[in-house]
Amino acid sequence: MPGQKLARISAGQFATMITAGYLGLGIFYFPREAVSAAGRGGLYAFWLDGVIAFVLMRLIFQMNRVVPHETFSGFASDLLSKPVGYLLGLYTILYHLALAVSATVLFSMVLGNIFLPSTPIWAIDGALTVTAMSIAWGGVAGLARTLQASYIPLLLLTVLSIILAAVSIRHPILLVPSGDIRIAAILHGAYRQFLIFIGFELSVTLYPFVRDGDQKKAERYSYYGLLGIMVALTMQYEVIMGVFGPYMTSQLRWPLASTYRIISISGFYISKLGTLLIVLWTIVVAAFVSVRLWCLAHDLSVFLEAFVPIRYNLGIILMGAAAILGTFLFPNAKVADIWNETWLIPFGIGYLVGIPLIVLTVASIRKKKTLHLQTLTEDGKEL
């Protein structure tokens, strides 16, 4: 474990992992949830989500700064007492795992529905999870490099494709933000669409792995990442609305996939470029799951440290197996959708709001203990 912790990531890699961490889950639904609740006001619901994500990111980063060289699972027991620490450690593990399962289920349904109708869903789930495990196998630095090499070019290609899809816009009037502002509907839409941002909780585990002195920069880059995603998804929202309109958008199973599938470039060597892009999005979902599996391996080893020490790679195997088993609970995407809305979103928002507030409050009360934790080295020795 100490060997693993010494592998550090740069500020840019941290921001990439955080960004990859929250896109994988809601991307294929986007913007259906916001539009079906708020109609053309769905854009306001999405922007509201962006503001909430920004505020919660600030809050989490503030919490990370309490003990900057230790993960939340690592310092929770010392700062908040052992029972509370174990409880919150378990909460963190379940949250990471639920997100990994949910992302795998949703993506395998998209692939199964569109491309591989004869392939059993469990095979797609298994292949995706094993790929994610193999990416996570090399540790956080290797994982970060793999993500940077594949994920950033893919995002650029996605933005280019959005521009290509823009030629299919039939109703430019829909590009103008709506004057129909219904607060309750927008709040409802923002709640349902928050699924897209729910995954940045992994910063509580990744933060201490940022190179010394780069933490501030890493935070700043993460905000830039959020801004970039807001701009890209706003463009995507506009294109989807301009092409399909609000009624059709709320009826599409996978609006993003549907938008890419109408891109057809005659004469280009791959005429169905959008279809190719959906397959490439496997990288994003595999990244989402692999980052989570790595965090799970870390949190599990910290959680079990007092009972039985386990290696990271064993943790990845155990958590990967748990994720595959978890996918069996969902017979179809609709069940996953209901489950996400009923449990995962409130569970996630509760975590993102509740954990920083508890830690910051206790840290302000137990100043001496906090100072003591801050002066410990990574090996647990006092400076």
Partner 1 sequence: MIKGLIRKLAALFMLLLLSVTLSGCWDDMPLDTRTLVLAMGFYPAKKPGQITVDFSFPTPTGLTSSNGAGSGGGGGKGPSFDTLSGTGYTLAQAFSAAQAKTNRDLYLGHTILLVFSTHLKAHQFNLLMNALDRIGTLDKTPFVAAVSAPFSKVVGVKMTQEEFPALYFEELFTCALCTQFSLGVRLWDASNRLATPGVDLVLPEITPGAKGKGPEVDHIALYRGYHYVATLGHSETTAYSMAAGKSRKSSLYFPHHWHAEFNAVSNNMHLHVDPKGSTVDVTVSLHFTETLESLDTDTESAHQLAVLSRVSSAAIGRRILTFLEKTQKDDSDVLGVGRQLSWIDPTAFRKYRPWHRVYPHVHFIVKTAVKINKMGDLK
d(CA 254, CA 111): 11
In this structure, what is the dihedral angle of CA atoms 89, 108, 136, 294, given to the nearest 10 degrees? -10
CB of 313 to partner 1, least distance (A): 10
CB of 231 to partner 1, least distance (A): 24
Q: Cα–Cα distance between 103 and 339 in angstroms, integer?
A: 12
Q: Please, are residues 355 and 132 in contact by the beta-carbon 8 Å criterion? A: no
Question: Shortest approach of partner 1 to residue 138 CB, angstroms?
Answer: 12
Instruction: Find, among 364, 363, 347, the residue nearest to 92 by Cα.
Output: 347
Query: Closest CB to partner 1 among 283 and 302?
Result: 283
Closer of 103 and 135 to partner 1 (Cβ): 135
Q: How far is CA 147 from the centre of its chain?
A: 13
CA–CA separation, 293 vs 175, rounded Å? 39
| Minimum CB distance to partner 1, residue 247 (Å) | 4
Is residue 38 within 8 Å of residue 44, measured between CB atoms?
Answer: yes
Binding residues for partner 1, per CB under 8 A? 39-40, 112-120, 123, 126-127, 130-131, 134, 170-171, 173-174, 180, 244-245, 247-248, 251, 258, 261-262, 264, 266, 272, 275
Do residues 137 and 312 touch, judged by C-beta distance below 8 A?
no
User: How many secondary structure helices (H) and strands (E) does the chain include?
Assistant: 18, 0
Please, what is the minimum distance in Å from the beta carbon of residue 126 to partner 1?
6
What is the C-alpha R_g of the chain? 21
Least Å distance between CB 63 and partner 1? 37
User: In 3-state terms, what secondary structure has residue 298?
Assistant: helix
Please identify, using beta-carbon distances, which residue of 62 and 131 lies nearer to partner 1: 131
Q: Give the residue with the Cβ less far from partner 1, 12 or 126.
A: 126
Return the axis-axis angle of helices 215-251 and 42-64, rounded to nearest 10°. 160
Name the strand (E) or helix (H) holding 297: helix 282-304
Residues 360 and 58: their CA atoms lie apart, in Å, by 12
Closer to partner 1 by CB, 251 or 375: give it: 251
* Of residues 116 and 163, the one with the C-beta less far from partner 1: 116
Min CB(158)–partner 1 separation in Å: 19
Under a CB-based contact definition with an 8 Å cutoff, are residues 383 and 376 in contact? yes
> Residue 135 or residue 302: which is nearer to partner 1 going by CB?
135
Question: 80 or 101: whose CB is closer to partner 1?
Answer: 101
Closest CA to 69 of 200, 202, 214: 214
Min dist CB 180 to partner 1, Å, is 5
**Based on CB atoms, which residue is closest to partner 1, 247 or 343?**
247
Q: Is 268 exposed, middle or buried (0-12, 13-18, 19+ CB in 10 A)?
A: exposed
- Two tokens, residue 289: 């799951």
Smallest gap, in angstroms, from Cβ of residue 299 to partner 1? 24
